[in-house]
Structure 1
Amino acid sequence: MSENQSIDLLSLQTMAKVFGSLFYFPLTDSNNQILLAALAQDENLQDSDLQAWCQQVKGESNEALNQDFFLLFEGGEAMLAPPWGSVYMDREEVIFGESTVAYRQFLRSHDIALDTGMREPEDQIGLMLFAVSQLVEQEQDIESVKVLFAEHLLTWCYRYFELVEKHAATTSYKQLAKLVSQWCEAVQELLTITPLAVKLYR
């Protein structure tokens, strides 16, 4: 999606789900491979930044992409771009921090369950994008979607995308971070969202 492309609620729901998958599973995962093939062939995305990015992914080795995913999302010796919101918003830079608890309460109040089969923080970037998609799908009131963005996602995600761009070893992950950052900016403008001002510790 080009950054200047308008976003309606249907595409908001769809793209949040797409980007959620791309940030939660490895790009080499079979589901993401199917998704990438579909995006590459989508006539509505012809000549778009997103379609150009799909071609970029095809040009990089699975080994390089898997190594990047491990370092960025699972962690080597040092986590250079942690994908959890509380690491940025908690003074101690921990997962399952106070912001995670607040976000969990928000999800419960809207009957959203993110059951991945593992005990992991709900404020992982990919899971949060999945939650956006689910909330748009089930809510008639766009205000709750705006609250999710304003109070829980936009508070930290731009900093996160900066770090991914800086530390990713592959062009694919660098460009993906830039694309999703631009998408978030477009959503913020479309829905007239003012992110909650919070102190970041990363």
Structure 2
Amino acid sequence: MSSDLVTFEQILPLLGVRVFAYDWLRRTFLTEPTKDLLQTMSQEGFVEGFPFVDDSELIHEGVGKVSKYLKEKDILSEEVYNQLHWDYTRMFIGPYELSAPPWESAYLNKERLLFQEETLNVRRAYLKYLFLPKDYGHEADDHLGLELDFMYQLCELAISKVNKQDKAGLKEVLVDQKSFLEEHLLMLVPDFSKNMAKNAQTQFYEGMAMVLAGFIELDLKALEELLDILG
């Protein structure tokens, strides 16, 4: 067996874990909660199986809050469903002043304006991979949910590179993910997640803020490990 095949087999499980994590996170932060998502998360052991839960106090505490909320509430009842929708809407959409604006430019731009240089920098990263965000031109490209979706798409692309045994292509995708994480998500998530955890009215979103912050921090280490294995 060639050394490249050994390398691919060695890193494939971690790539799969990252696909799972980013899929869950993008679905949580891009739109209001759906009943399908809540039903999936309510399955026995699903939340508790979030990646790196034993390696991060933030993820561990966040998972505990989300799990407790889902077990104690009838999440498919209209009352609880509406409660979650309102919690998402008032923090991320409006109509009132947002307690946790989900755009990178809200934290990096002095005037906190959208569609500024920060947004264009994110768009340039998307364009390399022909990633066209949902509601392009109407929703700013630097929305957290879109950035998480972009990372998810690149995670899927990384697995396809493994399946094609394209080591150079795989390394390029991982290098670009690391750059995007350092230049964008890690510039947004720490302050965003603190605002969200502080202002959430449900344990579900308070916990997901912690899970997000803990995962983004550890994913940088995961990417460094993957690139080190590739050499």
C-alpha offsets along residues 23-67 of structure 1, whole Å, 9 cap, x if unaligned?
Answer: 11222x1332243245x4549829x64476244135342232121
CA distance in 2, matches of 1:53, 1:44: 9
Where do 1:1-202 residues align within 5 Å?
A: 8-27=14-33, 29-38=34-43, 40-42=44-46, 45=49, 49=60, 50=63, 53-60=66-73, 61-116=80-135, 119-139=138-158, 140-141=170-171, 142-192=174-224
CA distance in 2, matches of 1:119, 1:98: 16
Q: TM-score, normalization: structure 1?
A: 0.81
Alpha-carbon deviation of 1:119?
1.3
For the Cα contact (< 8 Å) 1:72–1:82, is it kept in 2?
A: yes
CA distance in 2, matches of 1:58, 1:119: 37
The 3 A distance-change label for structure 1 pair 104 and 37 is same
The 3 A distance-change label for structure 1 pair 81 and 93 is same
For the Cα contact (< 8 Å) 1:71–1:79, is it kept in 2?
A: yes
Q: Any unmatched runs of 5+ in structure 1?
A: 1-6, 194-202
Amino acid at match of 1:182: G
CA distance in 2, matches of 1:31, 1:79: 26
SS for the counterpart of 1:156 is: helix
Q: Any unmatched runs of 5+ in structure 2?
A: 1-12, 54-59, 74-79, 159-169, 226-231
The 3 A distance-change label for structure 1 pair 51 and 80 is closer
SS for the counterpart of 2:187 is: coil
* Structure index of larger Rg: 2
Counterpart of 1:196? none
CA distance in 2, matches of 1:184, 1:43: 17
Aligned-residue Cα RMSD (Å) equals 2.5
For the Cα contact (< 8 Å) 2:65–2:206, is it kept in 1?
A: no
